[in-house]
Structure formats: C-alpha cells, structure tokens
Chain A
Amino acid sequence: QSVVTQPPSASGTPGQRVTIFCSGSSSNIGSNTVSWHQQLPGTAPRLVIYDNNQRPSGVPGRFSGSKSDTSASLAISGLQSEDEADYYCAAWDDSLKGYVFGTGTKVTVL
C-alpha cells in the first residue's frame, strides 16, 4: 500500500485545465523533491516534471508542477487528446529509505 496517494481519475475536455493532486507526508514530499511521470497506454513511463516544477526538454509548456508542504500537484493546461494517460508522482522517503510512487491518476480527455 503506497504512502503517497492520488485520486484514481481526472478528466476534462480538450482545451481545459486539469490538475492532479498528490498527498504524502513529512518524510517524503515534505522533505524531498517531487517528480511526475506520464505513462501512455502500453508504453514505458516518461518524466514530465522533476524537482517539483522543472520541465525536461521536449515536454510541452502546458505541463507545470508545484509543491506545498506535504502535497504536490501537476497541472495540464490546454488539455489535448494525446495527454490521455496515467500520471504518477514520486519522491524519496527518508523513513522508508526508498523511493515512493503515488497510486496513480488516470486522465481521460472527454
């Protein structure tokens, strides 16, 4: 059972803004940076946000991240059909001495 939780699903119409939340604790999100990973159906995950709010080269500017205390969020503005995927947050956990992934959120474009 993951110590970092996400809502199982989120949805929006093309062009809308969708925000996914990730809730952790003082030992993970509260004291370490957060990354976000997109997994398109049948493919390997890929990084879309690292160090809470940094976007790797090649990731569209409509993806943005933020962190506050023991929670983090990923926002997708101007939602597009190709954004339909599973999204996972992740952070190091100082108590578990391991990396923890969130439970994952499936984003559906209506």
Chain B
Amino acid sequence: EVWLEQSGAELKKPGDSLRISCRTSGYDFTNYWISWVRQMPGKGLEWMARIHPSDSYTTYRPSLQGHVTVSVDKSVNTSFLHWSSLKASDTAMYYCVRQGIGGHVWGHGTLITVSS
C-alpha cells in the first residue's frame, strides 16, 4: 500500500527556520513526482512546488520561489519542505502529494503555526 507519512505539527515564531518531512513507502520513490500543497485557514488548496526524486528537478510557484525549498533524500524515500525565515502568513496546513500514473496519493498533512 502506498503511504505518505508527514512530520508532526509545529509552533514557530516569525523568523524561525523549519524543515518538515514526508516519508513515503509502498512504491518506487524515484518514479513519481512529489508536490507540496498549502491550505491556509479556511481557504482552498494551493500548489507550492514539485520535485522529481530521480534527479531533484524542481518547479516552484513563482510567488514562493526563494521563500521555500523542496528537497529529497532518496536513501530514506523522503521529501522535505524548508523555510529559512518563517512569516506569520506561513500559518497553514501543508500536504505532500504523490503524483503520477494511477493518480494522486495525499499525505495526512502537517499543521504549521507561526506566531509571536
């Protein structure tokens, strides 16, 4: 069974750095894109970026380029989403999603709260 396990909820201050993870299992990690999707409180789904684990080719939503970084560690079948300096507006639920043949598989989400 395909499974995407995300790291736990975080409470951070503006300016903090943060890395959240998405550990996958049940399929060949290098054969499928991983996307990251944001959902701000009470709002819809917003695609942030995607990465292909085979070569780490990455595409970002233009408005987020430079604010977040997506990466993978093929040795542990895991993708990461990293911020070097969080803002209050980063408060949201973040989902990783496997994309490719057979459709999407969603992780359960990681809630990030940024507050002073």
Q: Which residues of A approach B to under 8 Å, CB–CB?
A: 2, 35, 37, 39, 44-47, 50-51, 54, 56, 86, 88, 90, 96-104
Partner of B44 from the list A47, A51, A101 (CB cut-off 8 Å) is: A101
Tell me if B's interface is mostly helix, strand, loop or mixed.
Answer: strand
Contacts of A51 in B (CB 8 A): 103
A-B pair number, CB within 8 angstroms: 52
Q: Are A99 and B103 touching (Cβ within 8 A)?
A: no
Taking CB as reference atom, which chain B residue is nearest A2? B44
Whole-angstrom distance between the alpha carbons of A104 and B60 in the complex? 22
CB-based contact B103/A35 at 8 Å: yes
Residues on B with C-beta less than 8 A from A44 are 95, 106-109
Number of B residues with CB within 8 Å of any CB on chain A: 20
Q: Is the interface of A mostly helix, strand, loop or mixed?
A: strand
Binding site for A on B (CB under 8 A): 35, 37, 44-47, 50, 59-62, 95, 102-109
**Minimal Cβ-Cβ distance residue in B for A54:** B103
